[in-house]
Structure 1
Amino acid sequence: MPITTLTPNQGKVGDTININGTSLGTTVSVNFGGAVVAPASVSNTLVTFVVPTTAPCSGQVSVSVNLSNGTRSNAVPFFVIVAPTTTGLGQTCLPAGGGSLTVFGTGFAAGGTVHVGALTPVAFAAGGNNTQVTVTAPAHTPTGCFDTQQVTVTTAGGSGTAGTTQVDYYNAPSLAAATLAPATGPAGTETTISGATCLIGITDVTFTDSAATAFTGLPFTPIDATSIVTTVPAAAAAGAGTFTVTTCGGTSGPATFTVT
């Protein structure tokens, strides 16, 4: 049996494969599944060839060689690793500290790495779900309130196409320098919060009254990244209460409104 091993015994289209064995010096072609491939080099103990573009997307194929005397060698298995694709994300945004990120696509069972922009790649193990992988995305602090990072997946089969999946990183909003106009009034008062930072992609506005009752999901109207208009809940107790604002980046500190 001329062929003993393939090195490597798995790979993708374009990879160079070594056929190791004996009595290979008269090899004229390589059988790769249903394709016949010209060898790149031939010696008595080593034949090399390139995985052809006609290779199946994934799965096991048989590899053998044809000798000049018309005989075919024994066949050995080779596993074609599919190039990964990315079709979507489980999250559209992340806080600056990073967090759980689920990538949907194909070709993930071989294991590999998730790349978020130019940040440190995150490895994931082989043998998991072929169509989705969940990793902990690295921390990243945007220069402004948010920025967008490209997400791709690389495996032994290659890299996914860029441009299909992106995630936004958000800095947390801040009300530290904010002013309220008015800052006092009866329950139900409409007020404008100004001078804040990063009021972008707001997911919740909460008012906690003097009795420690938290009213979540308050209606609000965004003006810009520094200002919103919202309303003190009609059921808020009299006394000093606080507004907080939540975005994908986190929850702000409080801004005080006194209910009269």
Structure 2
Amino acid sequence: MATTCIGLIYYKGCDYVRASEQWTRIMDDNGKNDSFHKAICCFYLDLTYSKLKHYKQAIDVFERALVHTCNMPAIFEAQCQMQIGHSIELQGIDFPRCFQTARVHYEKALDLYENHIEPPDEVALALCYAVIRNCHFFENAFSEDANRYYLKAIHVYDAIFLLQAPPPVLTQARLIIKAQECFQRIITYFIEHCPFDNFALSHRYLGEISYSHYDQYQQAVEHFQASANFYELHFSEDYWELVLCNKWLAMAHFKLELYQLAIDYGLKAVEFT
């Protein structure tokens, strides 16, 4: 127990190198039959590797953790499956096919949350629906599956926050106002309640709506900047989104006749390519 606490102290203190060394020592010290401690140590070692952006190692250890789930609560396996999917996305190998691979793990987690975990965890359900929707989106943008899972996520969020029903589609022009209301609703949630980067995506979508449909360029800049700030702080390795944010910032500043800023953001977008 004391050695586990030391690992947690290192992890909470953001000393991920020492934390990984501590979890590895604990795993080596425990007996081969100590499945519970091996599973817990695997999970924390996984999280530590993720923080270090060692996604291949994280995936390998999460899969090792799944071997020890027979005597663990279903929620442990569900969280492992979610983390494997997330690491596959962040690893970004074989783009965009990686989203299909990640979705397999998210769907396994969803099955556990829907059918094996009581009482239902609404936030986890919404997270599953949202990340599955994102995978469908990157496989085939605005497909029927992407919209269906998006609606499922928003429906669960509405149940949590007692908000109105969501629009039936995303950004089709004829329902652009309803889509805008939907994205505005998401950015009112606490960031930690939004699945992965949906907070930033909603800001970018709102920026695109302001830019493309209403010619509200200053408002568009505010949304694009909020999205860019999120990615720089939380997902600095997501170069694709950073390129898009800075590209839109360049275009919006050009419309505002702030040409030097337009050039600066354009060059910043090029740096991420």
Regarding TM over 0.5, the answer is: no
> In terms of Rg, which structure is larger?
1
Hey, which of these two has a bigger chunk of strand by percent? 1
- Tell which has more relative contact order, 1 or 2 (C-alpha 8 A, sep 6+): 1
User: TM-score category by the smaller chain?
Assistant: under 0.3
Return the TM-score normalized by structure 2. 0.22
Return the TM-score normalized by structure 1. 0.23
Hey, which of these two has a bigger chunk of helix by percent? 2
